[in-house]
Amino acid sequence: MDTRSLHFFLQLSDNLHFGRTSELCHISPSALSRSIKQLEESLGVQLLERDNRSVRLTHQGQLLQNYARDLLQQWDSFRESLLEGAHELQGEISIYCSVTASYSFLHDILSLFRREHPGIEIVLHTGDPAPGIARVLAGKEDITIAARPEKLPQSLAFRRITVSPLVFISSLSDISQQPCSATSKEWAEIPMIMSEEGPIRDHLNQWFSDIDTTPNIYAQVAGHEAIVSMVSLGFGIGVVPKIVLDNSPLKDKVSIMSNTPKLPSYDVGFCTLNKRLKSPIIKAFWSQL
C-alpha cells in the first residue's frame, strides 16, 4: 500500500471514469488501470466493477473509499504536525548533579534554557556527584556536573563552571583541633567522614598513602551534603568543596579548619559525551553555557 495508489483510487472512486481520472492524476490511463488492479490484488478483493462503458464501486470499494479518505487526511495532518514541531527543538535532556550544584549553578541556566527551548523536557537527577561521569559514559545521563577527573577520557567534553578549593571542616566544638601540626600517628586517630568514591576520596587516599598512614574512617557517605551533615553532628572531620559549604544550610554549624593539608582544587563543570554533542538538543544546551 502506498499513498499514491490510494490517491488514485480515491480520485477514481469519485468520478468513476478511468480517462478523466488519469488526466487529473497526471498519469496515463494504463498506469492508472494497473495501479488499481494492483491495489485490488494486494487487498484480495474487487474494488470496482467495470465494463467498457461504466465503472461502479463494489461494496468493498465503498469501504476502502471511506477508509482511504480518512487515512490520507490523517496522514497529512500528522505530517503537518511533525513539521510544525520541527521548527523548535523537542525532546528530552537528562542532567545528573549534586543538590548543591542544582541550587548554585543550574537554576539560572535551566530557566534560560527552558525559555529558549520550551519543547525540551529537562530530566534532573540529583545525587552524589561522584558516579556522575560514569553515568554519562554509560549513556544513562546526557550531562553531569562533576569535578574534572585527573585524566579526562577523550570521549568526554568538559566545560568548567568554577574552581572551588577543597576545605577541611569540623564541627564548631572541635575547632581546637590542629591537624596541620598533627603527626601521622595523630592523623590515624582523627575520625574522618569520607565519600565512598570520587576525586576527593582519591586525593585523600593519595595523601594518606604519602604520609604512610591509614585513615580512621568513621563513616563513608554518598554526597557532599551528607558529609557536611555528619561533620556538623561532630562525628569527625570531612573534606568538601568550599562551594558546597557556601550553599549549605548547615554552614554555621561547621567551621573551616586552617593549616590543613594542601589538596588540589575542585575543578567543577559540565560534562558530556563528545558524540552526544552532535545531537541538536545537547548541542543547544552546550552552546548556551
Partner DNA sequence: TGCAAATATATCATTTTACGCAACATGGGG
Partner DNA sequence: CCCCATGTTGCGTAAAATGATATATTTGCA
Q: Residues binding its own copies: what is the number (CB under 8 A)?
A: 33
Q: Quick one: which segment of 1-9, 175-183, 217-225, 252-260 binds its own copies (CB under 8 A)?
A: 1-9
* Exposure of 117 in the CB half-sphere (CA atoms within 13 A): 22
User: Of 81 and 111, which CB lies nearer to its own copies in the complex structure?
Assistant: 81
Encoded one letter per residue, x for contact with DNA by CB under 7 A and - for no contact, window 28-47 reads xxxx-xxxxxx---------
Encoded one letter per residue, x for contact with DNA by CB under 7 A and - for no contact, window 140-179 reads --------------xx------------------------
CA 273 to chain centre: 11
Among 14, 17, 25, 58, interactor with its own copies by CB under 8 A? 58
Considering only residues 124 to 153 of the shown chain, the ones binding its own copies according to CB under 8 A are 139
Q: How far is the CB of 3 from its own copies (least distance, A)?
A: 5
Q: Would you tell me how many other CB atoms lie within 10 Å of the CB of residue 267?
A: 17
Q: Which residues contact 153 (CB under 8 A, 6 or more apart)?
A: 137
Nearest of 254, 204, 196 to residue 229 by alpha carbon? 254
Catalogue the E-assigned strands of 190-265.
Answer: 191-195, 216-221, 237-241, 254-256
Regarding 63 and contact with its own copies (CB under 8 A), the answer is yes
User: Of 138 and 181, which CB lies nearer to DNA in the complex structure?
Assistant: 138
Considering only residues 247 to 276 of the shown chain, the ones binding DNA according to CB under 7 A are 273-275
Please check whether residue 215 is in contact with residue 179, taking contact to mean a CB–CB distance below 8 angstroms: no
- Distances 68 to 2, 41, 61 between C-alpha atoms, Å: 11, 16, 10
Among 23, 78, 186, 233, interactor with its own copies by CB under 8 A? 78
Distance of alpha carbon 58 from alpha carbon 107, whole angstroms: 65
Regarding 49 and contact with its own copies (CB under 8 A), the answer is yes
SS3 state at 156: strand
Regarding 286 and contact with DNA (CB under 7 A), the answer is no
Among 16, 25, 71, 211, interactor with its own copies by CB under 8 A? 71
Distance of alpha carbon 65 from alpha carbon 48, whole angstroms: 11
Among 24, 27, 134, 250, interactor with DNA by CB under 7 A? 27
Cell of 286: 552546550
Q: What is the dihedral of CA 270, 275, 277, 281, to 10 degrees?
A: -110
Regarding 259 and contact with its own copies (CB under 8 A), the answer is no
Contact of residue 111 among DNA, its own copies, none (CB under 5-8 Å per partner type): none
User: Of 115 and 278, which CB lies nearer to DNA in the complex structure?
Assistant: 278
Distance of alpha carbon 186 from alpha carbon 211, whole angstroms: 11
- HEC letters along 61-79: HHHHHHHHHHHHHHHHHHH
Q: Which residues bind its own copies (CB under 8 A)?
A: 1-3, 43-45, 49, 51, 53-54, 58-60, 63-64, 67, 71, 75, 78-79, 81-83, 85-86, 90-92, 119, 139, 275, 278-279
Q: Which residues bind DNA (CB under 7 A)?
A: 4, 17-19, 26-31, 33-38, 50-53, 55, 154-155, 273-275
